[in-house]
Structures are given as structure tokens and as C-alpha cells.
Amino acid sequence: MKKLGLIGFPLTHSFSKKYFQEKFLRENLQDYSYELYPLENIQQFSQLLTQHPELIGLNVTIPYKEQILPFLDEISENAQKIGAINTIAIQNGKKIGYNTDYEGFLVSLQNFLQDEKPKKALILGTGGASKAVQAVLEFLQIPFQLVSRKKGTSLLSYEELTPQIIENASLIINTTPLGMYPETNTYPPLPYESINQKHFLYDLVYNPEFTLFLQKGKARGAKIKNGLEMLYLQAEAAWDIWKEI
């Protein structure tokens, strides 16, 4: 049996296990299984591999997409540029890190925008998922501004977001866990009254389907999209890596 799984903490929000179990059933892949491995801290990663020597691959989610880097033997060129990992392949004891979030988000965003090209974007959050989003916007040549809870070098705080800034950024992407199950009553503190029908709101959160961030945007006439398509796309890109092992 070839084992795959997901590491992160907590993992109550994850659809990955269900997705891959259904895929294995549908495609009659009887030699594979997929499990959730909630790690309270990243130091438990080595112990996990010792306990489950049959693991050939892992997905990585919040909060370990950056913390996992020192534990890997090799990192793909793309993942190195991004500085975050969401997929690991384990072959002959060698742990190789990849970032399939990049591919998933690129295709999903292009499907969302169609032929529109925003003049500016706001990226909410600065974690591992944000890094893949930043790389995609750089590739698409869409200028962006990072927004975080605290002001920093090249970072705006939420308090600094004026109606003018919101009006000028027609694409707003939430890469934070705000609104994710079970904390579904949370949302990024934006001046939502400045959002209109020219805006595109993309939320990497996919559980629930419509976060308060998306609901508030839709109420103002914005086009909205959640991260479910991105999840499927990045999962299939990860599978393309694992099936070669």
C-alpha cells in the first residue's frame, strides 16, 4: 500500500482526504490510501516519517508551508522561488518539496478573470499561500499590494485601507484563514462599502463555500470565487508528481 496524506494543524477544514479517497475509488487505484496527519508542531514531522515508512507523498497546509523547508532534502526550482511548499514527494528516503498551489491558482484565476486584466490587486495575508499567489500575479504582470494585520516594509495594515485604495484595486485575494470553518463568522476587515461591480473577490478558503468575505463582496455587486477549483487543480498536479513514484 502506498500512503499519501496531509500535514498541518488543525485539519478540520480539509477536503483533501475525501477528494483523494473518491479519486482512488473512481479510478480503481487500490494500492493507494490518503490520511490526515495533524501535527501540533513541525518538529513532529520526522517522527511521522519514522512511524509511517510507507508514505510516498504529503500535502502541506497551514501553518507549515514555510516551516517545512528545512526538513527537505531537495526543493523544486519553482518552489524555491516562491519560498513555500504544499507538496512533498518521498522516494528512497529523499524528501523533495514542490509548490502545486502556484499551478492551481494560476489556472483558477485565469478562469475567473477571463479576458479582464486588473490594473492592481490587493493580497490579504503574507503566509505560505500568499507567496504562491504573489508569484502568479508577478507572472501575469498584475501589480499588487500586500495587506497584513501589522504594518511593515511594503506592507499595508488593514487600518490603512482607504476607500480610494479599495477602488483602485479591482482584484482582492484573501489568502488568510479568516472565515474558514469552524470560524465562519470571521472576515478580513475591509471598507466593503467601496467594493462595486468592477471588483473581483477571490477567497482561497473553500470551506464554507461562501465566506463572509465573499458574501459581503457579492452584496456590493462584485464577482466572487472560492478556492475549491484551485484545490482540485493543485491536488491533480500533486498526483502527477506522486504517481511517478
Cβ burial of 147 (10 Å; 0-12, 13-18, 19+) is buried
Instruction: State the amino acid at position 70 in one-letter form.
Output: P
Q: What are phi and psi of 87, to 5 degrees?
A: -140, 135
Q: Which residue has the cell 477549483?
A: 229
94 counts as catalytic: no
Q: What spatial distance separates the first Cα and last Cα of the chain, rounded to whole Å?
A: 13
Can you read off the three cell numbers belonging to residue 231? 484545490
Smallest Cα–Cα separation from 134: which of 102, 178, 166?
102
Distance CA 132, CA 178 (A): 18
Q: What Cα–Cα distance (Å) separates residue 172 from each residue in 71, 125, 137, 226?
A: 33, 11, 12, 12
| Contact criterion met (CB below 8 Å) for 30 and 5 | no
* Options 2, 17, 23, 65, the catalytic residue: 65
92-130 residues labelled b (16+ CB within 10 A) or e (exposed): eeebbbbbbbbbbbbbbbeebbeeeebeebbbbbbebbb
Element (H, E) at 97: strand 94-98
Task: List the catalytic residues.
Answer: 65
